[in-house]
């Protein structure tokens, strides 16, 4: 099945939810208004629909392979990556100073979604390079920037993140890779890193590894971790490639999904030590790595939206084609396409509403990122930074958990054929599962939401953001429409439920941590649901206005219906989730360990 980029919905979100024209008022983004967004997205759609999408199934059945230390990617990937870089897609969001196009995240996020819908395994390579670029821009020395950034931004070289070790998964305090300082200011790196996405491949001439390691004598725990650049090939002063560094791929993983993306085990220092260059200051590596991780966490949220969109499109096509049973209302006398059945419509509407809700939530977060990093007013930057930081675990956690439900429903719509690999529906389900795990599991996103984002300031940031929902409620209350009233009822109940939970979390994290953290993931899912539902309510208001003005009636009617569905079937779950968090902790923790 071919992928068709949902340009109308993306541009609706960019224009009305992210308010791209306000973003274009920020210095440096003057040329990045709605018309630019439309032109860039249309070009991006052509590339992803025509080049990357056809390779998606190929990558699943013919994944990357490993032989004698070398990784060969799926046939067609190398050529596609060349086209990707020549088109300037790697540098879309990165500074013009290093050869990028300097476009806002508000536009870039939609392009990331398209790339991942078309081919998630492929898209992981530029995703990791984006994270490496962000870290070097923020913490790299002028020399490191001059040596690596232009080649990374162009896509001539690619980047990786090296955190995990066999004994250190999410607990980075256990990192044992070591760095020995040399007299010339470089370091020798020794250790093993696992789960390194595109840690070895044949698509670019050099790979720039960003590696967490401990300098000899550093403090124990996370406070003693430093960050290093370790190139696959050494780079000369003139930018030319020299000798192979002492970092080697010893195997790649055999995975449930994203099979075409090589997940490498990398060995550093088997032949005397890999040469590494310190990023920033010693013992501040985790701080710098979080820059990469925040960029990557948002992008993984976009992956969730992307795979959900692809699964939805495939399910709709199948439901229109598959003839099975007469409709229950007797509207057709013979067997008919299954899209006529109410339960199939319910599944398709669930898939659609979740995907559109998360896309709108991510668009709003992207606009906040742009203002937080580029707005001339310090107070505006501060407010938007707080909003964006709060939204990152929601975009990552809620959108990826959502994608599991949506891709599972996609298999269900296909019935028995969904369980057969040749239909392709199962690939999206398998690919989606990793999204709730890598770049920090859903529980880690929830820990971040509870600890850093809610308890630390007594829930003040969370409450301030939730308070913004009331303006949307007032706008809904002013409407004389059945749909607006229905959405208002659900949104108000959901907001009040979320406030109760914020107060519970802020008031009990120190005194009763087990009680709070037993409901941490439900809290994240509740917050994600409410914020996505808020954006769907905003979308309904816009769509009603656009419909009244006679603009694109079919699209606007569908948007109104989808927003109403989100409120009735998804947002309506909020009060029950509130009860499970605030009143249900005891039953989570009560069972004796030996009883499990």
pLDDT value for 291 = 85
CATH of domain 7-152: 1.10.540.10
Measured from the Cβ of residue 377, the count of other Cβ atoms closer than 10 Å reads 11
| pLDDT at residue 289, rounded to an integer | 87
DSSP code for 345: H
DSSP 378-427: HHHHHHHHHHHHHHHHHHHHHHHHHHHHHHHHHHHHHGGGGGSGGGSHHH
Burial 70-106 (b: 16+ CB within 10 A, else e): ebebbebbeebbeebbebebbbbbbeeebbbbbbbbb
- Strand pairing report for 241-244 and 157-162: unpaired
Confirm whether 439 is a catalytic residue.
Answer: yes
The verdict on domain 158-282 having CATH code 2.40.110.20 is yes
Instruction: Determine contact, residues 327/336, Cβ cutoff 8 Å.
Output: yes
Domain ranges for the chain, please list them: 7-152, 158-282, 451-596
Name the active-site residue from 282, 439, 544, 546: 439
Classify burial at 593, counting beta carbons within 10 Å of its beta carbon; exposed 0-12, middle 13-18, buried 19 or more.
exposed
SS3 assignment for 474-537 = HHHHCCCCHHHHHHHHHHHHHHHHHHHHHHHHHHHCCCCHHHHHCCHHHHHHHHHHHHHHHHHH
Joined tokens for residue 363: 């668009």
Taking 50 as the pLDDT cut, the residues of the chain under it are: none
* CA 478 from centroid of its chain's CA atoms: 35
CA distances from 60 to 120, 239, 309, 426, 482 (A): 10, 36, 18, 11, 46
Rounded CA gap, 100 and 155, in Å?
10
Three-class secondary structure of residue 62 per DSSP: coil
Is the Cα dihedral 352, 359, 153, 24 positive or negative?
positive
Confidence (pLDDT) at 172: 87
- The DSSP H or E segment spanning 274 is strand 274-278
Cα angle for residues 374, 375, 379 (degrees, 5° grid)? 125
Helix (H) or strand (E) holding 205: none
Beta bridge partner(s), residue 162:
211
Q: What is the pLDDT of residues 509-556, one digit of tens each?
A: 999 999 999 999 999 999 999 999 999 999 999 999 999 999 999 999
Q: Where are the alpha helices (DSSP H) in 48-173?
A: 54-61, 77-86, 105-118, 120-139, 142-144, 150-154
Nearest-angstrom CA–CA distance, 91 and 87: 9
Q: Residue 33 contacts by C-beta under 8 Å, 6 or more apart in sequence?
A: 20, 21, 24
Q: What is the CA angle 320-314-322, rounded to 5?
A: 30
DSSP-assigned letter for residue 172: G
Task: Yes or no: say if 348 and 368 are a contact pair by the CB < 8 Å rule.
Answer: no
Cα 525 to Cα 399: distance, rounded to the nearest angstrom: 9
Angle between helices 460-467 and 520-548 (to 10 degrees): 20
The Cβ of residue 205 has, within 10 Å, a number of other Cβ atoms equal to 12
* Rounded Cα gap, residues 29 and 50, in angstroms: 29
Task: Return the number of other C-beta atoms located less than 10 Å from residue 554's C-beta.
Answer: 9
Please tell me the pTM assigned to this model: 0.98
- The predicted pLDDT at position 495 comes to 98
Contact at 8 Å (CB) between 191 and 162? no
Query: What's the CA angle centered on 192, arms 190 and 196, to 5 degrees?
Result: 125
Contact 219, 283 (CB under 8 A): yes
Q: In degrees rounded to 5, what are phi and psi of residue 142?
A: -55, -35
Closest CA to 27 of 102, 137, 124, 122: 102
d(CA 502, CA 463): 7
Task: Give me the sign of the Cα torsion angle 234, 238, 240, 242.
Answer: negative
Six-digit token pair at 280? 């920033």
Contact present, 539 and 563 (Cβ < 8 Å): yes
pLDDT attached to residue 307 = 98
Q: Characterise 342 by phi-psi region: left (phi > 0), alpha (psi -120 to 50), beta (else).
A: alpha
Q: Find out whether 374 and 29 touch, Cβ atoms under 8 Å.
A: yes
Spell out the long-range contacts of 434-439 with Cβ–Cβ below 8 A and sequence spacing 24 or more: 434/255, 434/256, 434/257, 434/258, 435/300, 435/303, 435/304, 435/307, 435/400, 435/403, 435/404, 436/397, 436/400, 436/401, 436/404, 438/195, 438/197, 438/300, 439/293, 439/296, 439/297, 439/300, 439/396
């Amino acid at each position: 099945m071919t992928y068709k980029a949902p340009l109308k919905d993306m541009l609706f979100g960019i224009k009305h939810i992210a308010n791209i024209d306000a973003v274009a008022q920020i210095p440096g983004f003057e040329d990045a208004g709605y018309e630019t967004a439309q032109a860039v997205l249309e070009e991006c759609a052509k590339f992803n629909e025509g080049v990357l999408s056809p390779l998606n199934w190929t990558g699943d059945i013919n994944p990357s392979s490993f032989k004698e230390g070398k990784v060969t990617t799926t046939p067609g990937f190398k050529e596609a990556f060349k086209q990707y870089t020549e088109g300037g897609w790697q540098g879309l969001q990165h500074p013009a100073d290093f050869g990028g196009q300097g476009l806002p995240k508000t536009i870039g996020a939609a392009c990331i979604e398209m790339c991942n819908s078309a081919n998630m395994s492929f898209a992981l390579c530029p995703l990791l390079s984006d994270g490496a670029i962000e870290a070097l821009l923020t913490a790299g020395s002028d020399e490191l920037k001059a040596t690596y950034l232009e080649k990374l931004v162009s896509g001539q070289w690619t980047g990786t993140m090296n955190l995990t070790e066999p004994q250190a998964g999410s607990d980075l305090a256990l990192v044992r890779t070591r760095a020995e300082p040399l007299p010339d200011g470089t370091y020798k790196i020794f250790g093993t890193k696992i789960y390194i996405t595109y840690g070895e491949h044949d698509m670019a001439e050099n790979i720039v590894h960003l590696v967490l390691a401990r300098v000899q004598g550093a403090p124990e725990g996370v406070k003693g971790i430093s960050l290093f650049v370790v190139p696959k090939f050494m780079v000369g002063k003139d930018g030319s490639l020299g000798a192979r560094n002492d970092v080697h791929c010893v195997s790649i993983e055999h995975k449930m999904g994203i099979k075409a993306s090589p997940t490498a085990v990398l060995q550093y220092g088997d032949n005397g030590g890999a040469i590494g260059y310190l990023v920033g200051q010693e013992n501040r590596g985790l701080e710098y790595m979080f820059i990469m991780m925040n960029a990557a966490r948002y992008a993984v949220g976009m992956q969730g939206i992307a795979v959900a969109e692809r699964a939805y499109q495939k399910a709709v096509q199948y439901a229109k084609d598959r003839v099975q049973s007469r409709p229950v209302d007797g509207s057709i006398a013979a067997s008919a396409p299954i899209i006529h059945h109410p339960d199939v419509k319910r599944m398709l509407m669930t898939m659609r509403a979740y995907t559109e809700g998360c896309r709108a939530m991510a668009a709003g977060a992207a606009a906040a990122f742009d203002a937080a990093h580029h707005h001339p007013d310090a107070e505006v930057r501060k407010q938007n930074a707080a909003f964006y930081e709060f939204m990152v675990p929601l975009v990552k956690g809620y959108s990826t958990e959502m994608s599991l439900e949506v891709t599972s429903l996609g298999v269900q719509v296909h019935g028995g054929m969904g369980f057969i690999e040749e239909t392709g529906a199962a690939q999206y389900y398998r690919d989606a599962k990793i999204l709730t795990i890598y770049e920090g599991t859903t529980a880690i996103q929830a820990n971040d939401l509870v600890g850093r984002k809610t308890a630390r300031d007594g829930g003040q940031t969370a409450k301030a953001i939730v308070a913004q929902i009331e303006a949307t409620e007032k706008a809904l209350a002013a409407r004389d429409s059945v749909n607006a009233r229905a959405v208002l009822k659900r949104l108000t109940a959901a907001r009040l439920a979320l406030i109760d939970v914020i107060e519970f979390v802020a008031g009990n994290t120190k005194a009763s941590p087990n009680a709070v953290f037993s409901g941490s993931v439900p809290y994240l899912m509740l917050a994600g649901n409410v914020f996505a539902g808020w954006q769907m309510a905003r979308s309904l208001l816009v769509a009603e206005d656009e419909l009244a003005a006679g603009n694109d009636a079919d699209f606007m009617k569908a948007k109104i219906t989808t927003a109403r569905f989100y409120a009735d079937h998804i947002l309506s779950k909020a009060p029950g989730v509130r009860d499970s968090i605030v009143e249900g902790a005891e039953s989570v923790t009560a069972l004796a360990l030996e009883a499990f």
